Each structure stands twice: as C-alpha cells, then as structure tokens.
C-alpha cells in the first residue's frame, strides 16, 4: 500500500508514482480507515 500525500489517497499496487497526480508516493504498511482508497484501473 502506497500513500499519496498530495491526493491524500492510498494507492494499491506497485506504483512508483501516483497515477492520479504523478507525485511521489510514500510507502505505507498500515492503513487508516478514514483515508480514501483509490484503486486505479490502469
């Protein structure tokens, strides 16, 4: 699970960049229930 600090979104999958804003992702192992989850289709 990666986290985008720009979109405040959790990105599932092995992404190097945020698929939404192309920003740098933070590695995150824990998950907050309040965070929105985005599952990119591409």
Q: By CB under 5 A, tell whether 4 contacts Zn ion.
A: yes
Q: By CB under 5 A, tell whether 7 contacts Zn ion.
A: yes
Binding mask 9-28 for Zn ion (x = CB under 5 A): ---------x-xx-x-----
How many Å apart are CA 23 and CA 30, to the nearest integer?
Answer: 20
Cβ neighbours of residue 17 closer than 8 Å, sequence gap 6 or more: 23, 24, 25
Q: By CB under 5 A, tell whether 38 contacts Zn ion.
A: no
Shortest CA distance to 26 belongs to which of 39, 37, 11? 11
Interface residues with Zn ion (CB under 5 A)? 4, 6-7, 18, 20-21, 23
């Amino acid at each position: 699970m990666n986290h985008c600090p720009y979109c405040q979104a959790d990105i599932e999958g092995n992404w190097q960049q945020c698929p939404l804003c192309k920003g740098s992702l933070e590695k995150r192992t824990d998950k907050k229930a309040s965070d929105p989850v985005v599952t990119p289709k591409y």
